[in-house]
Structure 1
Amino acid sequence: MCWILVVRGVCLSLLRRMAMWSLLLWEALLPTAVTGTQIQGQVGGSVLLAAERPAGFQVRDAIWRSLWPSEELLATFFQNSSETLYHSRFLGRAQLHSNLSLELRPLESGDSGNFSVLLVDKGGQAQTQTLQLKVYDTVPRPAVQVFIAAARDAQAPKTCQVFLSCWAPNITDVTYSWRREGTIDFGLEPHDLFANGQVLRVSLGPGDKSVAYSCIVSNPISWDLATVTPWESCHREAAPGKTSHKDVLLLVMVPVSLLLILAGLLSAWHCGPCSGKKKKDICADSVAPETENPIV
């Protein structure tokens, strides 16, 4: 009896494999209806790859495969029995539901790719659906830096031109945009944006002391922002680009004055012993032997 059960189990397994390879060969040889769908997912989340069935299409068999970046068998459904234990990169993360949709979780950044499902109805009609999965990282909080532009002679008085630089660390496939807080009209011109929107140039006046700007970083499944008030950086002490002509003059004159004072002190110290009448005679006597010519 046991031998009969074992043989029967082996036969069923062989029949399942033969049916599967027959369906794959059939898919390659016969024309089938193909539809394409794009699906988006988030790292750490889940996604459902839906197998759409036309009205009156009674599914008998189904095969889920990964087509790109590598071709792998993910799940099968034969004779009312499903299997997802194939040694693919989704082993342990794939679940085939009763409606033959395939759920993948938790998603990883390398799960993006193309998938297909082959459906065969009881009348022998085959249908293939293709799906494209794109997995995105969760957008982190961006960092914004404020750079003060050097003042120009033609620049209006009491104005400050700044460059706001925005950056989201360790992430790709993101879009940068800016928003001026507290106004309906953002007032951001395209010519004020640089580096694909990562850098914004703004000109501020005394009336913009409380104006804040937000950098928004987004991808199709998440977004985050950071807000700064750039006027606070315009009048900090020793702010970049705020050196005046008076400061430059002081930087030049102070070292020159110190050199002149030092030279005067050295001169006074050197001539100090020769000052006065008495000291003058002593100095003359000390110098005379050096200047007199010997008598021959």
Structure 2
Amino acid sequence: MCSRRWEWCSAVELLLLPLLVAGISDSPEKITCISGSNVTLKTSKKMLDNYIHGTWFYTTNQKIVEWDSNKPNYFNTKFKQRVELDPQSAALHIYNVEKSDSSTYLLRVSNESGSEYDMSIILEVFDPVPNFVIKTETKEVSGVCYMNLSCEIPDQSVDYIWHTDSGPSPKELHRSVLQVTIPPQNKSNSYTCQISNPVSSQNDTVYFLPPCNLDRSSGVTHIVNLLVLLIPTIPVLLLT
């Protein structure tokens, strides 16, 4: 390894020896998926060189599966009927993932000399954002309309963005409740709440109708629906 200043190089190697034996894992990979889907935790090729034993952990002390000589042994955990090990690549297939499966998974392999190498994978599982309806409260005082719009759902992992006719709300208003004050001269506006997480999103829209009313369909929609109702009667009116 080093031909010159042998003593100095040997000293450095001795200092690094515990790290080389223990095996330093790479920065953990992060996988994001939606609940109900299937996911594969893959290994790096350098982990498979001359290894004779391996273990997948759900947490640092809960084993999912371990194997020697390509013979897997699955432990009696919640994963037992939902995981499958690929003995050739050491990849772990997890089926029908659940939100509670979110964790840092650890793969530990060892070779004939007893040296171990660890690799971590962070798995984040999110439920799809459910359908929701904006809750509204309005109050008119001296021609000014005060509105309180709410779209909160019981999920801490979601983000809220309100959109109006003029575009998305400022970042400081990215919350589940939007308070709006509309003066008499203001034109009709739409207010859309978008709830999202890393895997899905849903939205709902309400429309402001002067002087201080909210509706779930725009005035254009009302006109279209009215025309649909009137069209069948127009020929009858022309014949009479």
| TM-score, reference length from structure 2 | 0.68
Shift of 1:109: 2.5
Shift of 1:173: 1.4
Assess, with a 3 A threshold, how the Cα gap between structure 1 residues 57 and 227 changes in structure 2: closer, same or farther. same
Contact 2:36–2:98 (Cα < 8 Å) also in 1: yes
Structure with the larger strand share: 2
SS in structure 2 at match of 1:171 = coil
2:32 aligns with 40
Give CA-to-partner distance per residue, 1:72-118, whole Å, 9 cap, x none. Answer: 22122322x23253212211101112321111111122222222111
- AA matched with 2:123: L
Q: Which has the higher contact order (CA 8 A, sep 6+)?
A: 2
The question of 1:172 aligning with 2:149 is answered no
Q: In the alignment, which of 53, 60, 63 is matched to residue 61 of structure 1?
A: 53
Q: In the alignment, which of 181, 185, 191 is matched to residue 213 of structure 1?
A: 191
Shift of 1:223: 1.2
1:99 aligns with 89
Residue-pair matches, total: 192
Q: In the alignment, which of 107, 112, 121 is matched to residue 131 of structure 1?
A: 121
What are structure 2's unaligned runs of at least 5 residues? 1-20, 215-240
Could you say what the CA RMSD is over the residues aligned between the two structures, in angstroms? 2.9
SS in structure 1 at match of 2:45 = coil
Shift of 1:218: 1.1
Sequence identity percentage: 20
Aligned counterparts of 2:145 and 2:194: Cα–Cα separation in 1: 23
Shift of 1:161: 2.8
Shift of 1:225: 0.9
The 5 Å alignment of 1:133-212 reads: 133-152=123-142, 157=143, 159-168=144-153, 170-181=154-165, 183=166, 185-186=167-168, 188-189=169-170, 193=173, 197-204=175-182, 205-209=184-188, 211-212=189-190
Give CA-to-partner distance per residue, 1:156-181, whole Å, 9 cap, x none. Answer: x5x4231211122x433111111124
Aligned counterparts of 1:233 and 1:92: Cα–Cα separation in 2: 60
1:25 aligns with none
Larger Rg: 1
2:236 aligns with none
